[in-house]
Structure 1
């Protein structure tokens, strides 16, 4: 190839690549679990030069920034996963510390919704995240989601107040079972045999852990199972909402924020009617408790609750649903282990084996879902 001695002309071509949408693949005390399609459009710029010398220069000069950018994104994603686990661990610890002595789960749940609503309003007011424009029809469609979201979080807190944190999260490993069952009933989705087989160790592991759990009681067990049912019902309703709604599409962060605010409004009269206002320092002192300890831990639990949900959605926008699901499985292991260490929870050999089997089943479920998804594609 001859090199031009006069001048070199460079042409820049821009190509837009449309990536497949991400959907929420799980439900947690998390929000982690609202199913919603997110479209992510990124531009990839390719530079071509008419001379081979110019091409070599462009390639050598762009490789270093590209590598640095890739490392930066990986480091940022790793930090997000760390924050996700950090906030979730401390939410469970602070929440359990309060519910163990301050037996007002409705009031504690309401406070968490109020704190989350304040944080969401702050994010919108400062422009950190764009405030959505909602129609009346959208609000009416979201209302059922808010109802089951409210009930799911309330039942989770009831369970945490009755049994050990590790046991509550072991029971919540049953979420895939409820997801498959409810999707079949309400959406008409049939799961392939390999997916159904992964439910066997999940159910068996939870059964073994329950039979050998030192803190077992039916109220705590039933509340945790009820939270599984309500959270997975929320996910099914979310799918129907996202496919049938009209108007501005909500991303997961805004949808979770709106649901949190609606939940705070829905639960407030219930909390006042069933438990009254229990966060007055004089009332807490009359119970023989330290107001500073109870109020600070309850406030921190609310902050951690909303924060880990938001970070969860930020991660979901950057990774595949299967990767997010695996991360959530690891998060549950971390929460169980940390709670056992902090609260010195007695764990028998069979109890530990049952928990391990259930969590292994959850991991297998996410992997099989990934493989069956590839076959369909």
Structure 2
């Protein structure tokens, strides 16, 4: 039987029974070329996969950054509109308890619609969780009530300047109830906060003690809420994320604030009362609704941001938000501000920013 024999280029055909074994083995140069070719192909494929992975990672990070920037923008925007419309309501309707209850009522309706329409999963709350959340709802309701009391008495810019003292109360309450002793750097950052607020208070044109102490009480209650949330640890379940927790607190705050507002101020939000007071009913209702909607929206967005960033980043964003709100309110309401008042506000806000940076480097306790 004859065979078709394949030989190397330039090699003589072998005998009829087939070529010698060496004729079938490629030279070492060809093997090396083949190995290099395979290596290049593998490397190219790996590089292609890496580049594709890097592109997907870049796109994902870009989307996350874009969403976060949008949330921060909405947080600031909703806060600006809340303070402007809320102040306009309180100027003509000086009943802060009723305004507070109305804001929680709008938030409660929004939460119920969100759950019933499946925009957000309706949670299953246990009795033990409700008992743990109750103190948070109490101080949350009081915090908003005291803020509205302050806004009704003094300018928006001055209220927010006083509220810049929140870190002071946070450190004080954490030391008293959690045993967290502040270091020298944290204490040093509180000095410009307290000094700046004091300087701004002495030169504030709209200053009165009722507005001042209401804002201070708001600081105390808001930071008590934060401390209680650490001390009264709600059992962490899948249904109890930050947004759900805020939704439950909103409903409970409405249930708590409604009877308090009636007891303190009576039923004042009816069309007949507003007409008898010489107020534009539609205007007051519209302003109140926008303020309430913006209040719930900025609080909701704040919790959404907190799920995406560290508390320190959230604190820095809150400082920036306060600066924007102060400047915007001064421009909108044409609030008279002296140079010393501006200096005091700036020093206090700089202290808040310094505090947020110092706490970011504080060693974590185990």
Shorter-chain-normalised TM-score: which range? 0.7 to 0.9
Query: Which has the larger displacement, 365-374 or 306-315?
Result: 365-374
The aligned counterpart of 1:97 is: 88
Give 1:109's match in structure 2, choosing from 82, 100, 124. Answer: 100
How far apart, CA to CA, are the structure 1 residues paired with 2:263 and 2:128?
Answer: 29
Q: Answer 1 or 2: which has greater helix percent.
A: 2
CA distance in structure 1 between the partners assigned to 2:36 and 2:116 by the alignment: 58
Residues 215-236 of structure 1, C-alpha deviations (whole Å, 9 max, x = no match)? 0000000100001111111111
State the alpha-carbon separation in 1 of the partners of residues 108 and 223 from structure 2: 22
**1:201-350 alignment to 2 at 5 Å?**
201-242=192-233, 245=235, 250-350=240-340
Q: Secondary structure at the match of 1:130?
A: coil
Distance in 2 (alpha carbons) for counterparts of 1:151 and 1:107: 13
TM-score by length of 1: 0.84
Q: Could you tell me how far apart the structure 2 residues matched to 1:112 and 1:276 are?
A: 17
The equivalent residue for 2:56 is 65
Show CA shifts across 1:232-251 (max 9, x none). 11111111122x64766621
Deviations 1:168-190 (A, max 9, x none): 00000000000000000011111
Segments of 4+ in structure 1 off by > 4 A?
246-249
Secondary structure of the corresponding residue to residue 361 of structure 2 = helix
Deviates more, 1:149-158 or 1:265-274: 265-274
The DSSP-based 3-state class of the residue aligned with 1:340 is helix
Take 2:349 and 2:236, find their aligned partners in 1: how far apart are those partners?
A: 38
Contact map agreement 1:133 1:248 (CA 8 A) in 2: no
After superposition, what is the alpha-carbon deviation per residue over 1:158-205, rounded to whole angstroms, capped at 9, x for unaligned?
A: 000000000000000000000000000011111111001100000000
For 1:168, the equivalent position in structure 2 comes to: 159
Write the distance in 1 (CA, Å) between the matches of 2:146 and 2:320: 23
Tell me, in whole angstroms, the C-alpha distance in 2 between the residues paired with 1:88 and 1:171.
Answer: 17
Q: Which consecutive residues of structure 2, in runs of 5 or more, have no partner in the other structure?
A: 1-33
Q: Is the 8 A contact 2:124 2:239 kept in 1?
A: no
SS in 2 for 1:265: helix
Aligned residues: 333
Cα distance in 2 for partners of 1:240, 1:264 equals 24
The separation in 1 between residues aligned to 2:87 and 2:67, in whole angstroms, is 30
CA distance in 1, matches of 2:129, 2:54: 47
Which residue pairs with 1:151 in the alignment? 142
Q: Is the 8 A contact 1:326 1:363 kept in 2?
A: yes
In structure 1, the partner of 2:358 is 368
Per-residue deviation, 1:272: 1.6
Aligned to 2:8: none
Cα separation, 2, equivalents of 1:360 and 1:238 = 27
Contact 1:3 1:51 in 2 (8 A): no
Over aligned residues, Cα RMSD in angstroms? 2.1
Higher Rg of the two aligned structures = 2
- For 2:81 and 2:236, the matched residues in 1 are separated by 38
State the shift of 1:60 in Å.
Answer: 2.9
**How far apart in 1 are the matches of 2:61 and 2:237?**
36
The alpha-carbon deviation at position 126 of structure 1 amounts to 2.4
Give runs of aligned pairs for residues 20-35 of structure 1, distance below 5 A. none
Classify the secondary structure of the residue corresponding to 1:372: coil
Q: CA deviation at 1:3?
A: 6.9
The structure with the greater share of residues assigned to strand is 1
Q: What residue in structure 1 maps to residue 4 of structure 2?
A: none
Mark the runs of 5 or more structure 1 residues left unpaired by the alignment: 9-49
